[in-house]
């Protein structure tokens, strides 16, 4: 089966979709650095173009595909942003729908932040748009940590197709599951290092600040859940796009001081927390800022694989 992917970024979803068993019809992304990373990783065919340029996409992908995957921009819906929704000029849903109408895929999968669920746009526009085109439509809220990723990353997956999809079975979790969550300490081989962070006036010398486990605003990754303390024994909070040298509001600059001991997370460590394989060619992004952005925007490959697999499972039933 052939998959056309829109907003492909640096290839996180592409890796997972490929592992599930799909062939890439085209990986469409306009950011040159992200495209360079995909090419260096051997992913193809990469179409470096705006997703609205459907003629260019069709010249590579052909006139049809079995699955269309779209990770359209999350900024209009994220709690970390201004939440302008459909009025934000980055709202990629209409562009995604244009591609659905052009290529008429048998199946559709879309990924976005969970803030999308709390909008009327999701209920009044996105779901009806798909229901007019597909017999079965639904959505799931999934956490990457439940699929072996060493990070709590909760994302909405919207699906549509000729048959109902069954949500992917959780493979990891606390207590009752065969396999426990993969922790930040295990993934980064931190041993007994403490992961702390937060306000400057903590009486015990550690840092503590608000829970940033989902969609933090300007940090590369938040460093605590609840109050401070060692939490190398848990999956990391959400990895975001910000360079640790980035500039934000005053309260955000404190968050940017998050540390492992006295050391900030590197881009390679953030990529590990996203579940990318060692040696993934992030060097193709020329600047550290571009690497943080590409990593933070990515879909964890293991999560994409679990979701894409549901389509193949439905086809076999």
How many whole angstroms separate alpha carbon 213 and alpha carbon 238? Answer: 6
At residue 58, the pLDDT reads 98
At residue 222, the pLDDT reads 33
At residue 32, the pLDDT reads 97
For residue 233, pLDDT beyond 50 = yes
Give exposure, 132-157, as e/b (b: 16+ Cβ within 10 Å): eebeebebeebbbbbbbbbbbbbbbb
Model confidence over 172-201: pLDDT tens digits?
998 766 799 998 888 988 764 444 433 332
- Number of Cβ within 10 Å of residue 295's Cβ equals 28
How many whole angstroms separate alpha carbon 306 and alpha carbon 157? Answer: 11
CATH of 2-174+296-316, one of 3.40.50.300, 3.40.50.150, 3.90.1150.10, 3.30.930.10: 3.40.50.150
Can you say whether the dihedral through the CA atoms of 234, 237, 243, 247 is positive or negative?
negative
Give exposure, 190-201, as e/b (b: 16+ Cβ within 10 Å): beebebbbbeee
Which of these ranges, 18-32, 182-196, 213-227, has the smallest mean pLDDT? Answer: 213-227
pLDDT band at 77 (very low <50, low <70, confident <90, very high): low
At residue 83, the pLDDT reads 55
Give exposure, 22-60, as e/b (b: 16+ Cβ within 10 Å): bebbbbbbebebbbbbbbbbebeebbbbebeebebbbeb
Rounded (5°) CA angle 226-289-149:
45
How many whole angstroms separate alpha carbon 236 and alpha carbon 115? Answer: 20
Of residues 66 and 229, which shows the higher confidence score?
66
**Average pLDDT over every residue of 107-114:** 96
pTM: 0.83
Q: Residue 300 has what DSSP assignment?
A: P
How many whole angstroms separate alpha carbon 228 and alpha carbon 110? Answer: 35
**Average pLDDT over every residue of 251-270:** 54
At residue 178, the pLDDT reads 78
Answer for the pair 51, 91: CB distance below 8 angstroms, yes or no.
Answer: no
pLDDT band at 51 (very low <50, low <70, confident <90, very high): very high
Spell out the domain ranges in the chain: 2-174+296-316
How many whole angstroms separate alpha carbon 305 and alpha carbon 218? Answer: 28
Query: Do β-strands 154-161 and 107-113 pair in parallel, antiparallel, or remain unpaired?
Result: antiparallel
């Amino acid at each position: 089966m052939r998959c056309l992917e829109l907003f492909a970024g640096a290839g996180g979803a592409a890796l997972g979709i490929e592992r599930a068993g799909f062939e890439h019809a085209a990986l469409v992304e306009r950011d040159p650095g992200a495209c360079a990373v995909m090419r260096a990783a051997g992913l193809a065919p990469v179409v470096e173009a705006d997703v609205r340029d459907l003629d260019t996409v069709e010249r590579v992908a052909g006139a049809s595909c079995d699955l269309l995957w779209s990770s359209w921009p999350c900024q209009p819906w994220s709690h970390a942003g201004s939440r302008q929704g459909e009025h934000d000029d980055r709202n990629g849903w209409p562009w995604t729908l244009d591609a659905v109408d052009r290529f008429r895929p048998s199946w559709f999968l879309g990924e976005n932040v969970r803030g999308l669920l709390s909008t009327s746009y999701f209920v009044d526009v996105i779901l009806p748009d798909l229901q007019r085109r597909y017999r079965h439509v639904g959505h799931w809220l999934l956490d990457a940590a439940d699929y072996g990723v060493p990070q709590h990353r909760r994302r909405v997956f919207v699906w549509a197709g000729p048959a109902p999809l069954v949500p992917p079975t959780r493979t990891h979790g606390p207590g009752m599951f065969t396999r426990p969550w993969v922790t930040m300490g295990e993934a980064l081989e931190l041993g007994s290092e403490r992961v702390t962070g937060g306000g400057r006036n903590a009486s015990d010398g550690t840092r503590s600040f608000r829970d940033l486990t989902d969609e933090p605003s300007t940090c590369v990754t938040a460093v605590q859940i609840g109050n401070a303390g060692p939490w190398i024994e848990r999956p990391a909070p959400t990895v975001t796009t910000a360079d640790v040298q980035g500039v934000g509001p005053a309260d955000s600059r404190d968050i940017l001081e998050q540390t492992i001991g006295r050391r900030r997370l590197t881009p390679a460590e953030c990529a590990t927390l996203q579940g990318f394989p060692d040696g993934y060619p992030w060097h193709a992004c020329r600047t550290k800022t571009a690497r943080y952005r590409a990593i933070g925007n990515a879909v964890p490959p293991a999560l994409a694989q679990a979701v894409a697999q549901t389509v193949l499972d439905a086809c076999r039933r």
